[in-house]
Amino acid sequence: MDFSKDLNEVQLRAVQETEGAALVIAGAGSGKTRVLTYRIAQLLANGVKPYNILALTFTNKASREMKSRIDALLGNNVSSQLWMGTFHSIFSSILRIEAEHLGYTSDFTIYDAQDSRNMIKSIIKEMNLDDKVYNKSGVAARISLAKNNLLTADRYAAKREILAEDTASKRPELASIYKKYVERCKASNVMDFDDLLLNMNILFRDFPEILEKYREKFNYILVDEYQDTNYAQYLIVKRLSEKHQNICVVGDDAQSIYSFRGARIENILNFKNDYPAYRLYKLEQNYRSTVTIVNAANSIIHKNEHQIHKNVFSRNETGEPIKVLRSASDRDEATTISQEIKRLILYNKLQYSSFAVLYRTNDQSRVLEEAFRHQNIPYKVYGAKSFYQRAEIKNILAYLRLSINNFDEEALLKIINIPKRSIGETTITKLVQYAREVGEPVWGVIESIEFRQDLGLSASTVNKLVTFRNMILDFSEKAVENSVKEVVPYIYDISGLKRELSGDDSPEGISRKENVVELLNSVEQFADEAYHNGEPDRLTNFIASIQLMTDQDDDNGDESNFVTLMTVHSAKGLEFDNVFISGLEEDLFPNAASLYDARQVEEERRLFYVAVTRAGKRLYLSYALSRFRSGQSANMRPSRFIAEIPSEYKSSGETGYVQPKYVGQRTTPGRMVTPKRVEPQVQFPPHTKIPNIDLSNLRLLTIDEVRLGMTVLHPSFGTGTVIELEGFGTGKKARVSFNGNGVRLLMLKYAKLYVN
């Protein structure tokens, strides 16, 4: 096929040269998805069978987009035959096929993070451990880290240095918790997300014939966002590619920002060592952003030592200079951003949906939300509570999970008395304790509850458990025989959940019913798509599709006109015409935890690079001189990252903004000393008393009359010069340098400034 009209020269070579190992370094906005898509289309056009191609992504959204593009290029719905999807979805499919080798059944269910934490919480309680010391989230993170480094519970317990770390952190029982957690998951026929990676490695390690089967099957392997792979993912890909060596990885080391999740930038930096005969392709033309934004981004990332050097360029318009916004406080910052958005929409006829406000931490959204509500700006907080985490949806999903895997203990304990069927906490506690004593799953006990006289349950309670058990077995039978669009409404009705919700006509109840309708709509959509793609439309497949959703897949695709608020981590892969990066202050962005480790500072800089390159046309960098943190107002300093952008790319109209200079920076291995800096005076000096002034001969200025450089008089602070103006309308502020009273930021709506 001739793709020359659709691709630039480097993209075309990366698409056409399909044999051997290839590393595609794709700068921000350079069309990496296009290259992956067209390379797969080229392979198919060359006669490669679709089922011999393995394409791994990090989001379902990315794989859906690529499948759609491939079908548009080639037709015939060929993408449905590809092994294309997220790491977790592809590996879960393989694990279901090979489940018996690892002691699971093919209908195992997958725990999300909340399910895992709930199980860990119950284990901590059973072991009579202090849940403040053994915090469930901290323990879950420790277990996750171990699994991503391929440390099984037995290996974890055998490593003396790890046990010493746990003892030093006053959590010597972590190894025991890990072991019990693994045993409990296995008994429940459950894997968590990390198990999907760990168990794939165990499968390939312990069953070489299975590894050889998949090596033979996957003649061509493609990996998206390779810089985000962790050790477990890296090892699986390396093992699978060893036979044919036809591997193409696409990524950008400059956008490696997930080390906290276990991602290793070394995987992409060391690709040349794993595949010495590799070809390198650098996609350096940015199609998204203005020349100004691209050049500024380059100036930022070039300061990192550990990188694959490239020179990203843009042939778009030069664009507007980057604007730096300085505010007195975080509240003022939020007001300034909201007013600037209003101004741009009014004067440039823009849509709210073309704006995004990015921040380093989730808690920064609060003051922004307050300001947006005050200004009547519609907004959406990206990454807020997922649809599938809502209580009424979680209840239905628990019934569905239990119907396909009766041993799913978290699902069982969640809904055994929802809706209320008089199976109380006392009964549930007895069931759990008895199951632990006899070494059986809780469902195993319920399965034969009529014969468990030693449990000491009343005949009435036993009858209720029998009724519940028979209902679940009925659901399981229906799930095997019928389409998901018949099974889910049936379970929703017969379980009693529908009846319980139908009687609640409060606003909250109406909202819950609407959410259930949306879930039923998604069931219909799943069944229709499965039919169209020739795939099974069974409940097992539907549940798997939900359990394997990623953060970005939580977005419901609503195209309403609102401003997007999100963390920079969540923004990766997205783009907006107009971007505000708020909270650009030392100890916040870069994060305080990174400042004593040069490598972590480099990751913070990569994170800033990602934020900058989300912008297409306009970019604002915003910081505050004070911010409410940990219950009190703290003085803040401008982020070093602002200073790293040359002044030629920033607005020269930032009156009063003095660029901070960083001097005397020293680094030692593994340590970075916070640099000394020369910057504007931001702390107020002691107040100097001003003699009483006769104001009768002076004229009070209106908001619009205050001008830059004007000499003014304030009743309390005396004579001063206006050195900076910011904001608009009634939110306009003036920074005034007063003789003997320092620099003050005044809200002109309330300040009384006079002239002779």
List the structure tokens of 175. Answer: 């190894």
Burial bucket for residue 429 (CB in 10 Å: 0-12, 13-18, 19+): exposed
Sign of CA dihedral 219, 222, 227, 233: negative
Annotated catalytic residue 225: yes
Of 614, 627, 650, 732, the catalytic one is 614
List the structure tokens of 81. Answer: 């035959």
Amino acid identity, position 684: F
Q: How far is CA 166 from CA 133, 138, 179, 427, 593, in A?
A: 11, 12, 15, 36, 21
- Give strand ranges (E) for 244-336: 247-251, 279-283, 285-286, 313-314, 323-327
List the structure tokens of 153. Answer: 């519970």
DSSP string computed for 145-164: HHHHTT--HHHHHH-HHHHH
Residue 535 to residue 527: CA distance in whole angstroms: 9
Residue 191 to residue 200: CA distance in whole angstroms: 12
Residue 442 to residue 309: CA distance in whole angstroms: 57
Annotated catalytic residue 65: no
Rounded to 5 degrees, φ, ψ at 624 are: -120, 150
Rounded to 5 degrees, φ, ψ at 357 are: -115, 120
Of 227, 255, 567, 613, the catalytic one is 255
Annotated catalytic residue 535: no
Report the relative pairing of strands 699-700 and 754-755 from DSSP bridges: antiparallel
Sign of CA dihedral 560, 563, 567, 570: positive
CA 668 to chain centre: 32
List the structure tokens of 537. Answer: 């439309």
CA 243 to chain centre: 34
Q: How far is CA 23 from CA 7, 66, 265, 283, 499, in A?
A: 17, 19, 14, 11, 56
Of 98, 112, 224, 408, the catalytic one is 224
Annotated catalytic residue 752: no
The CA-to-CA distance between both ends of the chain, in Å, stands at 78
The three-state secondary structure class of 580 is: strand
Annotated catalytic residue 288: no
Annotated catalytic residue 730: no
Residue 73 host element (H or E): helix 60-74
Of 98, 115, 225, 603, the catalytic one is 225
Residue 25 to residue 595: CA distance in whole angstroms: 28
Angle at alpha carbon of residue 593, lines to 588 and 598, rounded to 5°: 105
The HSE-up count of residue 302 (CA atoms within 13 Å, CB side) is: 12
Question: Do residues 522 and 542 make contact, with C-beta atoms less than 8 angstroms apart?
Answer: no
The three-state secondary structure class of 66 is: helix
- The catalytic residue positions are 32-33, 224-225, 255, 614
